[in-house]
Structure 1
Amino acid sequence: MRGVKRSSHPSANPSRARALGAAISLVLAASASAQDAAVELDEVVVVGSRGTPRLVTESSSPIDLIDGDQLRATGFNDLSKALQFLAPSVNFPRSATGPSAANTRGVTLRGLSPDQVLVLVDGKRRHASSVLNFNNVVGRGTVPVDLNAIPLSAVERVEILRDGAAAQYGSDAIAGVVNIVLRGTDSQSFTSLQGGATEDGDGETAIVAAGTSFDVGDSGGITVTAESRYRDFTNGAGIDSRVGRVTNRQGDPESLDLGLVINARVPMGESELYGNIIASHRDSESAAQYRASNVSPLYPNGFLPLIDLDMLDLAATAGWSQPLGAWTLDISDTFGTNRADFKVGDSVNTSLGTASPTSFDAGGTRYQQNVLGLTLTRPIDILSGANLAFGLESRYETFEIVRGEEASLQGAGAQGFPGFNPPSPIDESRDAWSAFVDAEFHLTQAFSVGAAARYEDYSDFGDEVTGKLSAMFKPTSVIAFRATGSTGFRAPSLQQQYFSTVSSQSSGGVLVNVGTFAVNDPVARALGAQSLEAETSEHVSAGIVLTPMQGLTLSIDAFRIDIEDRIILSESLSGAAVTAILQQAGITNASQVRFFTNAADTTTEGYELTAAWRGTWFDSVRSELTLGYMSADTKLERVKSNSVVPSVPLLGLASIDLLTEAQPEDKVTLTSMQSWGDWQLRLDVTRFGEYRNVPVTTEQTYGAVTTLDVGVDYEITKSLRLSVGVINATDAYPDKIAQRASLQGGSLQYSEAGGLGSDGREYYARIWAGF
């Protein structure tokens, strides 16, 4: 157990303090130097309240709003990367070498885990992936929502609620909520083409997108957006000293994503029908780790197993809204499904000798979710701006594991990924229902309060009540004070309860087969597994919002999140006791064991600062400057001991670091957009703070790293625009692994923790046409 950790206050780290101070000075200097009146900031959001849409500065919870055009202007090929470099509290761990981690592209908030972020699409709960992240990377053991299954070209804006909101939106909203708003039915028709590559010549990218809208009746409409996104693999691997050449891949996987989004609203008198369909197909190829020439005579020069993922993701929402006197009734049903199938190529099952095939069907996973919701809302006329809402929600989930072919599973199993081989068929389901009330009251013109409560009942985990209180006091137009307090609840996912597989993992620099066993499996029980419990949390925050002049806003918010019984994967357990239990169970294709456990309690403390200014320079240059800063410090408060096998700890340093230290301790984002005439210049600076993890056997601290992204837009005509840019113009890389010589002869150079990947400098060009 570690002792007292370093302070998260910026003054405790001089370089961090200088970076933050310089960014703040830049924003304030810009506002002071503006010659003309600033433009009013009118960022309107719907997340965080069930009442009418409101300005970001009028919310009792901190909210980031990022426009879809701003996301696309970054030049990144997917939504997760774009959010990471624009939102200070968002992190996108760039895991690369494992098939599950490289293809489940979830984000984190405030340094917590991907599955502690609730994702909504147009205010409706989005389904998670069927693929559990079983690799030794950030998010290990989580089942995130795959944001990249939503085409970036179909996004109108993203609202990020940085606050606990389980009482308002349901379980999982422990760190906060990401609400993705799709392009509306009145959106402009367009086509766009983007291409690019890294400076090293890999990572070739081609994105083709098109969208159009159709009128339905007098005021209804349908918007259709289609996108094809191809990216070749990137590779930051070095020379393998054992053979004198590059043998591995370390970077983004090769992938082809096809997406289609249909969004519709059809008024019918006073009522309205609405709905959307989001379909995505991904074909992705990831590399396992290189196998030397002595592994199989079929590959006298060694081989690199390649793992292909075929993923289909579908979601559909249908809803009806109807006024009922002073009330508004909303009924909706949202269905989501994710299917993932894995194949292993350029591989071998050494147990089958020279008769082994070189490609294998490794099986797959299936997940479905259906959410039926009913909400009644009404304004309270006697209290200006007040709102009252009641609701019911029913959720049904299923999870299935499809077994791999026999040749993939026999003996040692297919090299790279032996495939899914649950001891018994996995086809599980559960249901949950909830009831909630959400109210906001303006007690005076300057003082408002909010309260929410939710009762949830799971068929497999019982019931829980969560609540939230919020308040905002705005004595003048210049300053406002806000505070919230909430409790949260997250039941273990079906994947975390029943997932079972064997995979190849690096353990102390050596490749071994690690078995992940369900908590009710006899092997897991014999090694200390116990029935899972739900996570519970308490989340408090307080902040100040300043609007000292028109067009300029500043805010600072402090937060604390206490989580008990965190649901995590245990350490990969090994040793004589583990070997004996595996032999007794007749398991020959795994030498280490892990399972899910409620082994840890954590506390996360930190604060966030935002500043935004919009105005004009010299009568003609329109300027937008946005600064964001986040500092988060997660401490381990308690680790449960293994009561069954005391000599085998449930968590070790590597697992603890992934939970508490492997994401940047702080982050600065600074965006500058200058427009004049037909030209627009964009400069984005992002600084990722220090982080720690155990890449081999020894813990390593990695230094802060800063990147600069540059983009130039030229409006050829009102309906034709050309963009060119450089991502990571500074060609920044994270620190290399100090013990990399122990990893595949030094071929694997970079940790998969932190925030910045290993792609280096990248160029892109895009042409957009509207009609």
Structure 2
Amino acid sequence: MIRHMTRGTVAARLLGTSMLAAAAVSGMPALAQSAPPASGAGTADSEQIVVIGTRRTDRSATNSASPVDVISAQEITSQPAANMLDAVKNIIPSFFVGQNTISDASTFVRAPSLRGLPGDEVLVMLNGKRYNRSALVQVFVGGDTGLSFGSQGSDISAIPAIAINNLQVLRDGATAQYGSDAIAGVLNYGLREDAGLEIQARYGQYYDNGGDGKSRQIAANAGVKLGEIGFINLSGEYFDDNGTSRGETRPIALVFAQNNPSLATQLPNYPGPVQIWGSSPSKGYKLLLNSGLDVTDNSNLYLFVNVAHSKGDQSFNYRSPISATGLQIDNGATTTLTDLGANSAFAHPIYLTQCPAGNASCPAGGFVKDGNVYNFTALYPAGFTPRFIGITDQAYGTLGYKGKADSGFTWDIAASLARNSLDLSMYNSLSPSFGPQTQTEFEFGKLIQKEFTATLDLTYPVELAGLASPVTLAFGAEYRKETYEQTEGDLQSYAAGPYAVQNLYVPTGPGTYAFDSTVTMPPAASGYGGTSPQAAGSYSQKSYGFYGAAETDITDRLTVGVAGRYEHYDSFGSATVGKANAIYKFSDGLSLRGTVGTGFHAPSPGQNSVQILTTNFRAGNQVQTGTYPVTSQIAQFYGGQPLKPAKATNFGLGVVLNPAPAFTLTVDGYIIKVRDRIGISQTFSVTAADIAALPALAAVGAGGDVNYFTNAFDTITRGVDVVGTYRTDLAGGKLNLTLAYNYNKSKVSNYDPAVIGADQIVNVAHLAPNHRANLAANWTIGDFTINARENYHSWWQVETDYPGQRFSSKFTTDLDVSYTFQDRYTLTVGANNLFNTYPERITASATNPIFLSTNSLADGQVYPRNGGPFGINGGFWYARLRVKY
């Protein structure tokens, strides 16, 4: 591996010697009370109590040594999106997630990024307890997963927005406090405990394509108090989102319709594009129960449970039954001609006549090349577009007991159990090598993630002479078991059938034959490969850890701290990390804060064990791509090595300005260095010689691609977060202004060029815009409220998909108006992307020529497939009615 990383004295410059004696933020939050709703969009209100990043119960967002944003329930639920991913993306500038149009299973479980780092380097919590991972490991090759390629993070889309009291975002490395994965930060969802009834109903649709993408959502929250000793709060949500279409039909489909007018109506999706570039239809429900019961005056039992179910129906790539020649294209330099081939299932017929038994010139297993044939046009006369189905199910629960003694000693003991599954299937497809016996519907098997976590968290305040506050000591332990499982799919979904390889013979005389040729048909289902018996199985990883921490006010102006954590995994060994931070209050309106720490991300059983075969298209032609475990023969054939933990070093330095009660400004710079980052290698093209050397590669086939998980690169991320709020009166109403800005840029600092490709390096740096800003205004006068937000996204690049093209910076505008009547009813009408802004169209190039007949790529793409920072659907209007008792 090539190494270029330099080592500096950034930590000393950031924090100085005062931090070395300090006591820092601790582990799991236990008894800190939930924060009240925030007043601004994505703001950190100076009066709000934070429960993340500290063990103390008297920290606010502006006197916390680590930067914390507190997002109100109102801000989350006001977003016109059923998916929590989109709601958070609209609010937090450093949070990025793609739209993911046609991206295999990554369309059903989209992988987010915080501060340019992958989704599994962001720790997600509910009420301060670790939330489980999704069952999907992100193996899709392309810009849709570029920042989280190879990650296995949590799927926050399973959380109903109406269940949230607030979202606290710790923008700081926190592995020493919370364990593996908290390199980029922590998202902690605080759950509602209030009594009453709230119902919300929303309807909306996009402006274009006749108003497609119709979206329906109904959500309710009901809470009751159990006298003076407890509460029960239950939330539920149902959503039904129709799909969108923002592409053109394939040029080959246009040729087919022109040459075969009587069959044109049998083209998939007729009269629309034969394959759909846009959001996939999805529907489902989400439930969340939060409850607590006092055992004594100073202790209580708590239970919270999250259950969710969703189903997505995704368009795949069109399979053409014909070839076409002489199509005009613009390759970025000139206009020229090109050819498009038929899909391999239609490339030649299936020959059905077997060689006569006992004939030496036509051996057993061979076929006679005669007129007794089968063509897949009998099944799909106009070709076919497979539909890929993903059903996700989530079940998560935490049961705990916490309390506080008169001495100030606190305890919190809890256990969490979770199961997440993704059931994959397909219809409108075929398995070419099974010929006339092919299925058209396939079950690919389930991906399952199971987790058990047990935690013990303790704190004790110690009075020490000369300090301005007690030293809050914290200790704790954690045990975790993760299990990743792949279940077997249908035989035809993964296997090679009887017509996979046909040796053909022609008659040369009575009872004699001569060899003519060999023809092949691809194995497995067209579009995706099911899990074979060899790949099916269950893989577990166990770990335990201990942490210790302390935090205190050395003076009325200086708060400092340290924390350390040790974890041991049965798969790779141990990791030890630490953190120190401090905040110094120069005056009531000016504070300086800083952090330094180390962290790690442990490879998951899924990353160590996943094996998936997918279908991609290159220049309009089908290509099989196999992702293999590093322990497999195939990965080792191409240089795969056992995975080890990614390790990180975080530095942060910030200024908190609060010159007046109505004005707050925080500016926080950060540097995050990640060594041995876990991802997926570049693709290695399989040759006939490779297959001869390793027959297992036949499943991919000559011309196919292979990749595997790797630690073959390091990154450095540098950035700045700016959050400002201002409250004032305007024209008899209350005006809240919020500015949230993020600059973030990651760089691949060290890598193995034999494993990591140049396009991956560009994606790390520029797939998400390096600059993003939200300027929001909330004005309330009487019964009316107006919310307006202007969003800025700087230029961005997806080198994997569109080499050399930079998509330019754009502004988008969101606006809504609410009217509250009879105190309990609020009607809102609004629009996201009010002025119907789209990203730039894909430009012609040698690697992505534009076909003049459709003004699109060969697959019908017009806009970038991952959607970029704000999607390819354009403007969306909606109306929402809220009733609260």
TM-score (norm 1): 0.91
Which residue identity does 1:741 align to in structure 2?
Answer: I
CA contact (8 A) 2:558 2:582 kept: yes
Match of 2:230 among 200, 220, 227: 220
Query: Which residue of the partner structure matches residue 287 of structure 2?
Result: 260
Query: Which residue of the partner structure matches residue 161 of structure 2?
Result: 152
Which residue identity does 2:872 align to in structure 1?
Answer: S
Cα offset for 1:57? 0.5
Match of 1:82 among 73, 79, 87: 87
**Further displaced range: 136-145 or 690-699:** 690-699
Query: Which residue of the partner structure matches residue 410 of structure 1?
Result: 495
Query: Which residue of the partner structure matches residue 611 of structure 1?
Result: 724
**Further displaced range: 134-143 or 455-464:** 134-143
Q: Whole-Å Cα distance in 1 between the matches of residues 693 and 162 of structure 2?
A: 49
Q: Whole-Å Cα distance in 2 between the matches of residues 481 and 703 of structure 1?
A: 36
Q: 1:100 is paired with a residue of what secondary structure?
A: helix
Q: Whole-Å Cα distance in 1 between the matches of residues 48 and 233 of structure 2?
A: 23
Which residue identity does 1:402 align to in structure 2?
Answer: T
Q: Whole-Å Cα distance in 1 between the matches of residues 849 and 774 of structure 2?
A: 30
Match of 2:176 among 156, 164, 167: 167
CA contact (8 A) 1:431 1:458 kept: yes
Cα offset for 1:97? 0.9
Query: Which residue of the partner structure matches residue 29 of structure 1?
Result: none
Q: 1:44 is paired with a residue of what secondary structure?
A: coil
Cα offset for 1:77? 2.2
Query: Which residue of the partner structure matches residue 604 of structure 2?
Result: 493
Which residue identity does 2:399 align to in structure 1?
Answer: A
1:125-148 Cα deviation digits (max 9, x unpaired)? 000000111112322211121111
Which residue identity does 1:248 align to in structure 2?
Answer: Q
Name the CA shift for 1:583/1:522 in 2 (closer, same or farther; >3 Å): closer
Cα offset for 1:72? 1.5
Which residue identity does 1:600 align to in structure 2?
Answer: F
Query: Which residue of the partner structure matches residue 305 of structure 2?
Result: 277
Query: Which residue of the partner structure matches residue 248 of structure 2?
Result: 238
Query: Which residue of the partner structure matches residue 645 of structure 1?
Result: none
Cα offset for 1:697? 6.4
Name the CA shift for 1:46/1:435 in 2 (closer, same or farther; >3 Å): same
Superposition RMSD on alpha carbons, in Å? Answer: 2.1
Match of 1:570 among 681, 684, 687: 681
Cα offset for 1:465? 0.6
Query: Which residue of the partner structure matches residue 884 of structure 2?
Result: 770
Name the CA shift for 1:509/1:169 in 2 (closer, same or farther; >3 Å): farther
Match of 1:398 among 480, 483, 488: 483
Q: Whole-Å Cα distance in 2 between the matches of residues 608 and 174 of structure 1?
A: 16
Query: Which residue of the partner structure matches residue 10 of structure 2?
Result: none
Which residue identity does 2:417 align to in structure 1?
Answer: F
Q: Whole-Å Cα distance in 2 between the matches of residues 163 and 509 of structure 1?
A: 44
Which residue identity does 2:302 align to in structure 1?
Answer: Y
Q: 1:268 is paired with a residue of what secondary structure?
A: strand
Residue 367 in structure 1 maps to residue 458 in structure 2? no
CA contact (8 A) 1:486 1:540 kept: yes
Query: Which residue of the partner structure matches residue 190 of structure 1?
Result: 198
Q: 2:772 is paired with a residue of what secondary structure?
A: strand
Which residue identity does 1:365 align to in structure 2?
Answer: L
Cα offset for 1:305? 0.8
Query: Which residue of the partner structure matches residue 373 of structure 2?
Result: none
CA contact (8 A) 1:509 1:696 kept: no
Q: Whole-Å Cα distance in 2 between the matches of residues 699 and 508 of structure 1?
A: 17
Cα offset for 1:589? 4.0
Q: Which runs of 5+ in 2 are unaligned?
A: 6-43, 255-271, 323-342, 344-375, 497-522
Name the CA shift for 1:586/1:60 in 2 (closer, same or farther; >3 Å): closer
Query: Which residue of the partner structure matches residue 9 of structure 1?
Result: none
1:738-749 equivalence runs, <5 A: 738=843, 739=848, 741=850, 745=858, 747-749=860-862
CA contact (8 A) 2:65 2:594 kept: yes
1:274-299 Cα deviation digits (max 9, x unpaired)? 11010001111112212112434222
Q: 1:614 is paired with a residue of what secondary structure?
A: strand
Match of 1:693 among 769, 791, 798: 798
Query: Which residue of the partner structure matches residue 14 of structure 2?
Result: none
Residue 66 in structure 1 maps to residue 177 in structure 2? no
Q: Whole-Å Cα distance in 2 between the matches of residues 564 and 146 of structure 1?
A: 25
Residue 652 in structure 1 maps to residue 754 in structure 2? no
Query: Which residue of the partner structure matches residue 626 of structure 2?
Result: 515
Match of 2:388 among 280, 304, 307: 307
TM-score (norm 2): 0.80
Residue 343 in structure 1 maps to residue 452 in structure 2? no
Cα offset for 1:53? 4.7
CA contact (8 A) 1:51 1:377 kept: no
1:253-293 Cα deviation digits (max 9, x unpaired)? 21112111110011122211111010001111112212112
Query: Which residue of the partner structure matches residue 331 of structure 1?
Result: 413
Query: Which residue of the partner structure matches residue 207 of structure 2?
Result: 199
Which residue identity does 1:653 align to in structure 2?
Answer: A
Query: Which residue of the partner structure matches residue 11 of structure 1?
Result: none
1:439-458 equivalence runs, <5 A: 439-458=550-569
Which residue identity does 1:198 align to in structure 2?
Answer: Y
Which residue identity does 1:172 align to in structure 2?
Answer: D
* Identity of matched residues, %: 28
Match of 1:678 among 761, 776, 783: 783
Q: Whole-Å Cα distance in 2 between the matches of residues 577 and 439 of structure 1?
A: 61
Cα offset for 1:588? 3.2
Match of 2:574 among 463, 482, 493: 463
CA contact (8 A) 1:361 1:408 kept: yes
Q: 1:657 is paired with a residue of what secondary structure?
A: helix
Query: Which residue of the partner structure matches residue 633 of structure 1?
Result: 745
1:717-771 Cα deviation digits (max 9, x unpaired)? 2111111111111211112222363775251122244312111111111111112
Name the CA shift for 1:489/1:40 in 2 (closer, same or farther; >3 Å): closer
Say which one has the larger Rg: 2
Q: 2:91 is paired with a residue of what secondary structure?
A: coil
Which residue identity does 1:415 align to in structure 2?
Answer: S
Q: 2:745 is paired with a residue of what secondary structure?
A: strand
Query: Which residue of the partner structure matches residue 105 of structure 1?
Result: 110
Q: Whole-Å Cα distance in 1 between the matches of residues 470 and 381 of structure 2?
A: 74
Cα offset for 1:612? 0.7
Query: Which residue of the partner structure matches residue 22 of structure 2?
Result: none
Q: 1:585 is paired with a residue of what secondary structure?
A: helix
Q: Which runs of 5+ in 1 are unaligned?
A: 5-38, 642-648
Name the CA shift for 1:307/1:335 in 2 (closer, same or farther; >3 Å): same
CA contact (8 A) 1:508 1:696 kept: no
Q: Whole-Å Cα distance in 2 between the matches of residues 578 and 436 of structure 1?
A: 52
Q: Whole-Å Cα distance in 1 between the matches of residues 619 and 153 of structure 2?
A: 27
Q: Whole-Å Cα distance in 2 between the matches of residues 581 and 555 of structure 1?
A: 61
1:620-674 Cα deviation digits (max 9, x unpaired)? 2111111011111111111125xxxxxxx31212322333321111111111111
Query: Which residue of the partner structure matches residue 698 of structure 2?
Result: 587
Q: Whole-Å Cα distance in 2 between the matches of residues 683 and 67 of structure 1?
A: 16
Which residue identity does 2:234 align to in structure 1?
Answer: V
Cα offset for 1:361? 0.7
Name the CA shift for 1:75/1:588 in 2 (closer, same or farther; >3 Å): closer
Which residue identity does 1:453 align to in structure 2?
Answer: G
Q: Whole-Å Cα distance in 2 between the matches of residues 586 and 367 of structure 1?
A: 28
**Further displaced range: 632-641 or 428-437:** 632-641
Q: Whole-Å Cα distance in 2 between the matches of residues 63 and 752 of structure 1?
A: 33
Cα offset for 1:422? 6.0
Cα offset for 1:76? 2.1
Q: 1:431 is paired with a residue of what secondary structure?
A: strand
Cα offset for 1:174? 0.5
**Further displaced range: 456-465 or 348-357:** 348-357
Q: 2:188 is paired with a residue of what secondary structure?
A: strand
CA contact (8 A) 1:695 1:751 kept: no
Which residue identity does 1:506 align to in structure 2?
Answer: F
Cα offset for 1:694? 2.4
CA contact (8 A) 1:377 1:389 kept: yes
CA contact (8 A) 1:129 1:338 kept: yes
CA contact (8 A) 1:164 1:173 kept: yes
Name the CA shift for 1:386/1:605 in 2 (closer, same or farther; >3 Å): same
